Amino acid sequence: MYSDVVMEVGKKYFEELIDKMKAEKGVTQDVDLTADDLKELASQFKAEYKEKIGEDFPDDPKEQLMGAIKAVFRSWDNPRANVYRRDNDIPYSWGTAVNVQSMAFGNMGDDCGTGVAFTRDPATGEKKLMGEFLTNAQGEDVVAGVRTPMPIDQMADKFPEAFEQFKEVCKILEDHYRDMQDMEFTVENKKLYMLQTRNGKRTAQAALKIACDLVDEGARTEEEAVAMIDPRNLDTLLHPQFDANVLKETTPIAKALGASPGAACGKIVFTAEDTKEWAARGEKVVLGRLETSPEDIEGMKSAQGILTVRGGMTSHAAVVARGMGTCCVSGCGDIVMDEENKKFTLAGKEYHEGDPISIDGSTGNIYDGIIPTVDATIAGEFGRIMAWADKYRTMGVRTNADTPGDAKKARELGAEGIGLCRTEHMFFGDRIDAFREMICADTVEERAQALEKILPYQQGDFEQLFEAMEGDPVTIRFLDPPLHEFVPQTEEDIQKLADAQGKTVEEIEALIESLKEFNPMMGHRGCRLAVTYPEIAVMQTKAVIRAALAVKANHPDWDIVPEIMIPLVGELKELKYVKKTVVETADAEIAAAGIDMKYEVGTMIEIPRAALLADEIATEAEFFCFGTNDLTQMTYGFSRDDSSKFLEAYYDAKILENDPFAKLDQNGVGKLMKMAVKAGKETRPDLHCGICGEHGGDPSSVEFCNSIGLDYVSCSPFRVPIARLAAAQAAISQK
Judge contact between 277 and 403, C-beta under 8 A: no
Contact pattern for ligand PEP over residues 651 through 690, marking x by CB under 6 A: ----------------------------------------
Binding mask 28-67 for ligand PEP (x = CB under 6 A): ----------------------------------------
How does 487-511 read in b/e, with b if 16+ C-beta sit within 10 Å?
Answer: bbeeeeebeebbeebebeeeebbeb
Strands across the sheet containing 150-151: 150-151, 130-135, 113-118, 181-188, 191-199
Contacts of 536 (CB under 8 A, 6+ apart): 438, 447, 451, 478, 479, 529, 530
In angstroms, give the least distance from the CB of 419 to ligand PEP.
9
Nearest approach, Cβ of residue 569 and ligand PEP (Å): 12
| 119: helix, strand or coil | coil
> Using the rule CB under 6 A, is 200 a contact of ligand PEP?
no
Q: Which CB sits closer to ligand PEP, 562 or 693?
A: 693
Between CA 509 and CA 511 the distance in angstroms is 5
Number of residues that bind ligand PEP (CB under 6 A): 10
Minimum separation from the CB atom of position 644 to ligand PEP (A): 16
Q: Contact letters (x/-) for ligand PEP, 408-437, by CB under 6 A?
A: ------------x-x---------------
628 near ligand PEP, judged by CB under 6 A:
yes
Is 316 among the residues known to form the active site?
Answer: yes
Radius of gyration of the chain (CA): 30
Classify residue 95 by burial, with Cβ atoms within 10 Å: 0-12, 13-18, 19+: exposed
What pairing do the DSSP bridges indicate for beta strands 396-400 and 712-715? parallel
Residues forming contacts to Mg ion in the complex (CB under 5 A) are 606, 627, 630
Taking the complex as a whole, the smallest distance from the CB of residue 567 to Mg ion amounts, in Å, to: 6
Cβ proximity to Mg ion: between 359 and 613 the closer is: 613
141 binds ligand PEP (CB under 6 A): no
The CA distance from 142 to 132, in Å, is 8
Closer to ligand PEP at the Cβ: 201 or 528?
528
Our answer to whether residue 692 is catalytic in this structure is: yes
The rounded distance, in Å, linking the Cα atoms of 311 and 313 is: 7
CA–CA gap between residue 121 and residue 301 (Å, rounded) = 23
Return the closest-CA partner of residue 660 out of 636, 627, 696.
636
β-pair partners for 116: 132, 184
Toward Mg ion, which CB reaches closer, 638 or 651? 638
Binding of residue 629 to ligand PEP (CB under 6 A): yes
Smallest separation, CB 565 to ligand PEP (Å): 10
Taking CB under 6 A as the rule, does residue 563 contact ligand PEP?
no
Angle between helix 491-501 and 505-515 (nearest 10): 110
Q: Closer CB to Mg ion, residue 342 or residue 422?
A: 422
Instruction: Decide: is 630 part of the binding site for ligand PEP (CB under 6 A).
Output: yes
Report, in Å, the least distance between residue 440 CB and ligand PEP.
22
Nearer to ligand PEP, 599 or 661 (CB): 661
Strand partners, 115: 133, 185
Rounded Cα distance, 615 and 619, in Å: 7
Verify binding: residue 3, ligand PEP, rule CB under 6 A: no
| Interface mask toward ligand PEP for 606-625; x: CB under 6 A | x-------------------
User: In the complex, which residues of this chain contact ligand PEP (CB under 6 A)?
Assistant: 420, 422, 480, 606, 627-630, 692-693
Tell me which residues are annotated as active site: 316, 692
